[in-house]
Amino acid sequence: MMTPEEVRSRAKALMPQLTEDLKDLVSHASCSFPGYPVEPVTNMRRASMALLERNGAAIRELDLGAGKPAIYGDMPGPEGTPTVLLYAHYDVQPAPIEAGWDTDPWTAEIRDGRLYGRGAADDKSGVIIHAGTLGVFEGQLPVNLRILIEGEEETVSHIGPYVDAHPEMFQADAYVIADMGNPAAGVPALTTTLRGNVVCIVRVRSLRFPAHSGLFGGAAPDALLALIHILATLHDDTGDTVVSGLAKFEWSGTEMEEDSFRVAAGMVDGAELIGSGTLGARLWSRPAASVIGIDAPTVKDAANVVLPEAAAKISMRVPPGADSEHELALLIDHLKRVAPWGVEVEVEKVRVGYPFSARMDGPAVKAAMAALEAAYETSSGTMGSGGSIPLVARLQGISPDAEVILWGAEDIAQAKIHASNESVDLAEIERLIVAQALTLQALGAD
Ligand SMILES: [Zn+2]
């Protein structure tokens, strides 16, 4: 058994090389969205594999039958020890420079201990944390270790059906998902819940063709106006989502701090938070509908007509414990019921992602909490996450008794994942390597 001090000093010794490795990973524009170039995704996968292998991992490329291959490894540890699967993803969100980047998103830059670039946090930091964890053990694994690094987490993923078809490859006693973050760097909190996500498209049709707004406006029903009426019913005046029957509960874990939330969300001066109740409840334990796209003529191309058709895409986060399929059915019913003026309304289901709630009484979560406190040298809380990781529910499906540890270096206060000027705190990566290594060691010794 290594002492926490030994683990810390090994992690520290690995950091200079791991920092260079992260710079290299950031240089590969590994966006797996349809229509984006495949070569940087392939290069990113190869770079990740080389990095993991240098740190002692036995891995291979995993062809999923469609889409981008994943990286998979199955490494036996001492007999009788539990099996732990480490997860991260190597694909990233797009990063158009005109979205407000101060530096080139694909050229890593270090300022004040943070490394900037697309994917630096989400989730190339996860690849680095897993490589560093393996590095700490120098080939002497304390548990049976599996590793899964997916290449399509940010887009239409093919890993779910593959997991369902090959459950024996992915079964584990504990899953460690390094694709999360603390409230702020240096402030540890284990993520214990994830919201689910349901998405649908509502299409409104009111006329057979565009009608002259002078001759017909005032009496002919405008499809875009009807759509706006429908969308306006999703929230009350305070901004709470008010579709009737939706599941919700009050949040009792660590709270999010309002000032840092405002900064992290990039709220303009004077803008108010929407919704009522605690911030934790609004972000982690209640439903939240957003309108994420509208099909209507652009302002530039707007002709002076009453519009015959319009459509909107609605994304709704659903709280832990809710049945996503049921919540989506409630939303779809609502959209149809509130349509004004007898217009035609069609709703198409796009996505049904399930929420997650961690078991808190098992050995892995207890070891993880203790390891966080040892790595950060302070007490740790628990928090929810508003985000969704559909694979987590799937892994629970194939290993119903498994525990799930959700953490990572994507601190909410500053990492700006999915946004411009994404960054990661390098010391946070080091602390997570220590926490992961201590957790695996504790599980192996149990
Ligand atoms: Zn991610």
Angle in degrees, CA 385, 196, 424, rounded to 5:
35
In the DSSP assignment, the letter for residue 31 is B
Say what the pLDDT of residue 156 is.
84
CA distances, 382 to each of 200, 242, 420, 428 (Å): 31, 28, 28, 17
Per-residue pLDDT of the chain (446 residues; tens, 9 = 90+): 899 999 999 999 999 999 999 999 999 999 999 999 999 999 999 999 999 999 999 999 999 999 999 999 999 999 999 999 999 999 999 999 888 999 999 999 999 999 999 999 999 999 999 999 999 999 999 999 999 999 999 988 899 999 999 999 999 999 999 999 998 999 999 999 999 999 999 999 999 999 999 999 999 999 999 999 999 999 999 999 999 999 999 988 888 888 888 988 889 999 999 999 999 999 999 999 999 999 999 999 999 999 999 999 999 999 999 999 999 999 999 999 999 999 999 999 998 988 988 888 899 999 999 999 999 999 998 888 877 787 888 898 999 999 999 999 999 989 999 999 999 999 999 999 999 999 999 999 97
Is 153 considered catalytic here?
Answer: yes
In the chain, DSSP finds a helix count (H) and a strand count (E) of 12, 18
* Centre of ligand 1 from the C-alpha of residue 328, in Å: 24
H runs (alpha helix) in 28-166: 39-54, 124-137, 159-165
| Cα→Cα distances 437→1, 4, 345, Å | 11, 9, 54
pLDDT given for residue 25 in this prediction:
98
Pairing mode of beta strands 381-385, 189-194? parallel
Q: Which of 21, 153, 179, 428 is catalytic?
A: 153
Ligand 1 centroid to Cα of residue 340, in Å, is 39
Helix, strand and coil content of the chain, in percent to the nearest 5, comes to 35, 25, 45
> Rounded CA gap, 146 and 173, in Å?
11
Q: Ligand 1 center to residue 11 CA distance, Å?
A: 23
- E-only strand ranges, 8-113: 59-62, 70-75, 83-89, 109-111
Q: Is 425 helix (H, G, I), strand (E, B) or coil?
A: strand
CA of 119 to the centre of ligand 1 (A): 8
CA 314–ligand 1 middle distance (angstroms): 21
User: What whole-number distance in Å separates Cα of residue 202 and Cα of residue 229?
Assistant: 12
Residues around ion ligand 1, judged by CB within 5 A, are 122-123, 179
| H/E stretch holding 396 | helix 390-398
Q: Which of 21, 91, 410, 428 is catalytic?
A: 91
Q: How far is the CA of 153 from the centre of ligand 1 (A)?
A: 7
Give the model's pLDDT for residue 68: 97
Q: Which of 188, 250, 240, 248 is nearest to 383 (CA)?
A: 188
What does the pLDDT read at residue 345? Answer: 98
* 222 classed as catalytic: no
Of 279, 289, 288, 287, the closest CA to residue 253 belongs to 279
Kindly report the pTM of this predicted structure.
0.86
Query: Residue 112's pLDDT is what?
Result: 97
Q: How far is CA 265 from CA 60, 143, 258, in A?
A: 38, 39, 10
Residue 287 CA to ligand 1 centre (angstroms): 21
Tell whether the torsion through CA atoms of 11, 12, 14 and 16 is positive or negative.
positive
Longest dimension (CA), the chain: 83
> What is the pLDDT at residue 150?
97
Ligand 1 centre and the CA of 249: distance in Å?
26
The residue among 403, 357, 360 whose CA lies nearest residue 171 is 403
Q: Helix, strand or coil for residue 72?
A: strand
CA of 421 to the centre of ligand 1 (A): 16
For residue 228, report the distance from its CA to the centre of ligand 1, in Å: 32
Per-residue model confidence (pLDDT) at position 234 = 98
* pLDDT score at 293: 94
